[in-house]
Every structure is written in C-alpha cells, then in structure tokens.
Chain A
Amino acid sequence: MAEALTCDNRLTQEYLDIVDEIIKPYRGQPGNLIQVLHKAQSRVGFLPREVQVKVADGLGVPLTKVYGVVSFYSLFNTLPKGKHKITICAGTACYVRGAKQLINQLKEDMDLEPGGTTEDGMFSLDLVRCIGACGLGPVVTVDDEVHGKVHREKLTKIMAKYKEE
C-alpha cells in the first residue's frame, strides 16, 4: 500500500487511481463530499487540484463547491505536510497552562510556525482547537502519539526522539 505523500513526493498516477477507488461507492452522492475528501486526504496526504477535480466529477458536484468545502474546513489541506505532523492544542486549558510558549519554542528552535513545514520536510506544525485532553494541558501530538503536560524540556526531548529516526 502506498504511503501518504509528504513534501518530497510527487503526485503520481498510482495516487489518482487510489482516489478513483475511494470515490467508487459514493458516485453521484453529493452528500458524502466531506467523507470522501477525508478518505482521499488520509491516503494521498493532501488535496491538490487534481484530486479535487476527480472528486467533483465522481460525486457530481461542481469543482467550485469542492474547493469551497476544502477551503472552509481547517483539517483539509491543499499542500503536502511534513513527514511528522506536530499539532499543538490551542484550546483554553492548554493556553492558560503555557501552549503559547511551546509554539514560540518551535519557532525559535526549528524555525517552524503554525501552518508551516521545516525546510527539510521532516516536521509540519498545526494548531488544533482542543483535542479534549484538557486535564493534561498543554498537549502536543506528533503523528498519532499524544503527549500531555508538555513543557520546554519535554518538548525538546520529544523532538530529539523524532529527529533521530
């Protein structure tokens, strides 16, 4: 199975075929647009124009509407992400317990800003509005791993672990 694309990969026919497979059961069902985009993004890694065109054709929705939905929801992205996806929770509980300092730290240490990707394509950073682990703020997730009660030293350690890989 092809892995989701990251910064240094290119969109190939293989991925467009995957998108075709995803669309198949939903042909002509505009109501499933968001679900199809989720599936496409999880396999391709992002939603470039080529993918959006396929989804629009398949579901019978104008391309403008597909783009409208993609640009409306913050979890859809039209640019590829880094190899490791970092998210910092920017919910209230995490905010009052120091999430802002962690955001600054990544900027200082790795020149990584929310919405951005490091130059080497290793890490991308996004802010998320509450992942519901408020009891353990501030919370940072890297890929699927959740880290609670993160502070300066802990974040440095977490980053070091992924950099080694």
Chain B
Amino acid sequence: MEMYRSHVLVCAGAGCISSDCKSVQQALLANINDLRLDNEVKVVETGCMGPCDLGPVVMVFPDGVFYRKLKPEDTREIVNEHLLKGKVVTRLLHSPVGSSEKVVSFNELEFFKRQTRIALRNTGVINPESVEEYIARDGYRALGKALSQMTPEEVVITIKESGLRGRGGAGFPTGLKWQFTAAAPGSPKYVVCNADEGDPGAFMDRSILEGDPHSVLEAMAICGYAIGANKGYIYVRAEYPLAVERLELAISKGREYGLLGENIFGTGFSFDVEIRVGAGAFVCGEETALLASIEGQRGEPRPKPPFPAQEGLWGKPTVINNVETLANIAQIVLNGAPWYASMGTEKSKGTKVFALAGKVNNTGLVEVPMGTTLREIIFDIGGGINGGKKFKAVQTGGPSGGCIPEAYLDTPVDYDSLNELGTIMGSGGMIIVDEDTCMVDLAKFFLDFVQDESCGKCAPCRIGTKRMLEILERITSGQGQEGDIELLEELSYGIKNSALCGLGQTAPNPVLSTLRYFRHEYEAHIRDHKCPAAACPELLTYYIDPRACKGCGVCSKACPSDAVIGEKKKPHTIDLNKCIKCGTCKQKCKFDAVITV
C-alpha cells in the first residue's frame, strides 16, 4: 500500500467548481510533479467542504491547514513553502470577518468548530469516487451489522427510537414510515430516495450526493432489508449532472464489490438501485408526483390517502426518504438510537444541515445539532451580514416557508419552534436578507415561483396563486388598493385548505408570514406608494445629488429615455416626466451621485 506524508484535499463542490477549482488543482499537481513530490504528497479531490464563499479552498493534512480563495499561481508557493519546507503560507490563510488574525487550522475556525457533522461526515473529507475511502471510514459496516446481527424489526425499532424525522421538509418520523411500509401487504416493495432537491436555496442533498454517494446507497440497502424490499430508485434532478455521474459510478462500484446486487455479504439478501433523472419540475419533490415521474408520466400529484407506504410505486408499498435523512441512517445503526437521540431537542433529535445563502458573509453548508439558535447559525457560524448592512429576516423552507425577523433570532431551531413562528424547517435552506430586500417583493418572488411550478391539476393552486400574484404585482407597482391585504389573506386560507398537494397547501405561506411580521411594508406600498427598502423600481424616484455629481455625462449618455439633462462638468438633473425608472444612471454613475427615494 502506498503511504503519503501529506494529503492535500481540494474541494470540488458546486461552489468551488464555479470558482474554478479545477485550474487550481491542475496547477497544484503540476507543481508537485515539478518538485517530484508525487510519491510523498497525494492530492485528493473531495466533495463540498462547506465554506462556499471562500472557494476555491484546499486543506493540507495531517495538520489541517486551511487555504482559501486560491488562484492557480498561488499553488507554487504552497508546494515550495508548505509541502517542501513545512512552512505555512500565511498570506493564503483565512481571517474571519471582523478579525485581522490569520487562522491556520480549519479546526480553529468558528465556521467548522461549532459544527457536528453526521450527515456530512464524509463530505469534503473523502474522495467521493473511491469506495475504498468510504469503507475506510466505517462505510458499509452498518449494512453488515444490520444484515448479520439484527432482524429487520430491530432495524426499524432502532430508527424509530433514534427520533430521526424526515429532512426533506415535513419532518415525518422516519422509523414510522419504515414500520408502516414493512407492515403493508403487497409485494414487491420499493425504497425510493427523493433527490429532487428543488427548494431554491437548499443544496445539502446535492453536496451529499456529490461528496458521499455511498452513504445514500448503504442507507437504501439497510432500509430495503428493514422493510423487505430488493429494489431502490434514486430520483435526481437533471440540474445536478455531477450528482448523477457520481451516483452511477458509486452504484457500479457497489455492485463490483458485492455491496449491492445479489446475495450481499453472503446473507441471501439482495438489493439493487437504479437512477431516475427528473426533467425540471419542482412539483416532483412532492412524493406522489415523484412516483408518477419515476413511472414515466407527467409529475402530477394525487390525493392521499392512500399513502405511498400502502400504495406507492406501481401501486406497491414504498418508502420515500430524502437524501439527508438517508445520510444519517448508517451512523444511527452503528452507534445506536440512544446516541442519536442524545442530540437535539425534545421532539427534534439529531443534527440538521443548513444551507446559508443570500446576504450573509459565510455562505455555504453547515451541520449543527437541532436546537441551535438562529443567531448562532447566522452570526457566529455565518459571520453575519455582508457589506456592513443590517439583518432584516431569514427565509426558511423555500416557497413553502416564511420569514423570521430579528426579534426571534434567539429561537432554538427545530421543527416545532419554526412552525410556531409561521414558517417551516423545510429542507434547511436559509436565505438571509438585509435592509435592501423588500418583503413584498420577496413574497411576490415566491408566488411567481409557485405559479410557474404549479402543475395545474387543482384549481386552488392553479388559479388561486395566479390571483394572489396579480395582487402582489399590483401592490409592488404602486397600484395597490385598500382591501388588498385582506383579500390576500382570504385567498391564502382558501388555498391552504383546499389545494390538492403540499405545493399548493403551503404556497400562501410566504405571503402570510411576511404579512405577519412586515405588514407595515405592504401598507407603505399601498397607502403611501413607497417601498421602504427602495427595491420596487416603480415606486422609486431618482434624483442626482448636485454635490456629488461631477458632470461627467456618463449617465446622460446611458439614459435610454433622454431624461438626464445638464451641461458637461456641471451637475446634471433628471426630468421626472421622462424618467422610466430603469436605474441605468444609478448603475453607471461612478460617484454614487444618483440617489433614490
């Protein structure tokens, strides 16, 4: 076996790929080869490490030195100084927001220090294309334990007692789902992994699939054993081509090593997995729509009951679990239910992965125990709001969720506390917005999303959300009327109570939640024709600050409606009758002289 004195882990998660980590990796390899260190130093391409904003990122082990925002030309110094002479390259280390001190090891960064990684245990640590590396980190040991030392019933009981709840959004107890399916009459039974991560702003499932695909396969096999199924399907969005590729590779390796397929570990248990790729329909994340899509049909939901546990794929009993839920399973089987249940809150056990995005400094993926407060997640781990702006709200649960304002930042996060605040855990996406975001506009964004993604089968969702969107468009363009807010509320409750599936039933949540905490913004739009966040273009008036204007003329040349007038080198003015409020002058001005009120 080859031994290396140092391992260089290069993050190749989605974020780092878009920051061009590939060039960094190539340069690193070239420099290592130049100095003939390739027998001593191994470069490992891993899945997402988490701190997307700092990409491309690299960790050098055994010491765990963390380099960030690398350019290909930086790698020569890392190789010459660090890998050859053992001197850390201080210039490339990270200093957390608000501190000038450089931090050497990833363990010392708040971002990593405060995390407990169970679902993400291997993501960003191992090479996702190597089944050996997965096995070296206890991979497939849980499957072995379940098959050789546990009865199917014992597996179900373990998952039930762990308190694990579905990480896809609804939070249904996973063990119960398995129990119902195991007990349901009918054969064959199926295990389906819902990897149709459509909630905009959530990317933990993508990172797990790309960074640790075997953890999902192992869990599916364990589930198959527990419920008496021999076949599993993974339904992945087509927007995640790398996840599909990694899964395909993992499945073929799994078969080659006898970890999937016939007679696993010689126990007589057989289980195999197939991939189904979606085609861009958000509603397919809804379980009955997902099943229809696997069967090759339009992804339209159907009423429940019967639940998939009784009548699922091709009418047979089916367990549908989300990716992150499955990523916890092997660890629970190995370490036992009490271990998992010792973390978290009374009704929400274990850890949860959150995707931080929007106007926060440390965007990326973090995994923390349930019950961690929003403030810890957003400020201590997330590093607060970028650009010195003020926190306004955090949006959770995507199009089915809502917003939480500053007053509730100390709430411990779990399924129930978020419900009480009028939002949902959802899949764990957290979009942080600052004072520049208009809450009415944000609600409109979600309604527009839902309207676009509504499958059209039931009228409340198809027509109701359209009417709501029209009202929101009216309000944000300054045409709002008295009574619009009440009408929105009436429609919201009507749709919630009568829509066919989860998509429609939760579609009004973003409106109800912003009305609950930011009603004054709606009122300002309707009554005063003002957008308090200065974000709705049609409610803005553009002025040029005569003290800041240098009369360079860039804005008047750029103005599409010839509304900017003035002589060269003298302050310009905007003719409000001609101004179409496109904002071009403000974008073009180098002196910040164009202001909006």
Give A residues with C-beta under 8 Å from B: 30-35, 37-38, 61, 65, 68-69, 72-76, 90-97, 101, 104, 108, 128-137, 139, 146-148, 152
Contacts and interface: CB of A to CB of B under 8 A. Distances in A.
A94 to B, nearest CB: 8
6 closest A-B pairs by beta carbon, nearest first, are A135-B52, A91-B200, A73-B279, A93-B357, A75-B280, A135-B363
A125 to B, nearest CB: 15
B51 to A, nearest CB: 8
A151 B298 CA distance: 37
Given A34-B276, A135-B364, A96 B358 contact: yes
A37 B297 CA distance: 12
A147 B18 contact: yes
Interface in B53-98: 53, 55
A129 B453 contact: yes
B52 A92 contact: no
Given A104-B582, A148-B15, 4 more contacts: A33-B296, A91-B200, A146-B14, A152-B587
B413 interface: no
Contact of A92 (B277, B281, B395): B395
Nearest to A68: B298
B52 A131 contact: no
B190 to A, nearest CB: 13
B359 A136 contact: no
Contacts of A68: 298
B492 to A, nearest CB: 19
A83 to B, nearest CB: 20
B265 interface: no
Interface string B429-445: 10101000100001001
Contacts of A128: 239, 280
Contacts of B442: 96
Contacts of A34: 276-279, 293, 296
B518 interface: no
Interface string B231-242: 000000011100
Max count, chain A CB within 10 A of own CB: residue among B18, B293, B433: B18
B299 interface: yes
B445 A92 contact: yes
Contacts of B55: 135-136
Interface residues of B, number: 58
B279 A76 contact: yes
B198 A135 contact: no
B540 interface: no
Contacts of A32: 296
Contacts of A129: 198, 200, 239, 280, 282, 449, 453
A104 B437 CA distance: 18
Contact of B18 (A37, A76, A136): A136
Contacts of A76: 279-280
Q: Please indicate which of the listed interface residues A31, A37, A94, A101 has the most CB atoms of chain B within 10 Å of its own CB.
A: A31
Interface in B206-224: 206-207
A65 B295 CA distance: 13
B17 to A, nearest CB: 6
B358 A93 contact: yes
A74 B298 contact: no
B299 A73 contact: yes
A132 B433 contact: no
B433 A96 contact: yes
10 contacts: A38-B238, A72-B299, A72-B300, A75-B279, A92-B357, A92-B431, A93-B357, A134-B357, A134-B363, A146-B14
Nearest to B51: A135
Interface in B510-551: none
B377 to A, nearest CB: 15
Contact of A69 (B239, B297, B398): B297
A72 B442 CA distance: 26
B160 to A, nearest CB: 31
Contacts of B17: 133, 146
Given A75-B279, A92-B395, A135 B206 contact: no
A146 B445 contact: no
Given A37-B279, A96-B359, A129-B282, A69 B296 contact: yes
A92 B198 contact: no
Given A96-B359, A133-B14, A134-B357, A30 B296 contact: yes
Contact of B357 (A131, A135, A147, A152): A135
Contacts of A74: 279-281
Nearest to B449: A129
B355 interface: yes
B238 A75 contact: yes
B363 A136 contact: yes
Contact of B295 (A31, A131, A139, A146): A31
Contacts of A94: 200
Given A129-B200, A146-B18, A135 B587 contact: no
A101 B453 CA distance: 22
A96 B256 CA distance: 46
Interface in B226-270: 238-240
Contacts of B277: 34-35, 38
A73 B18 contact: no
Interface centre among B199, B207, B455 (most CB of A within 10 A): B199
A137 B355 CA distance: 13
B456 to A, nearest CB: 9
Nearest to A126: B280
Contacts of A108: 560
B120 interface: no
Nearest to B279: A73
Nearest to A150: B18
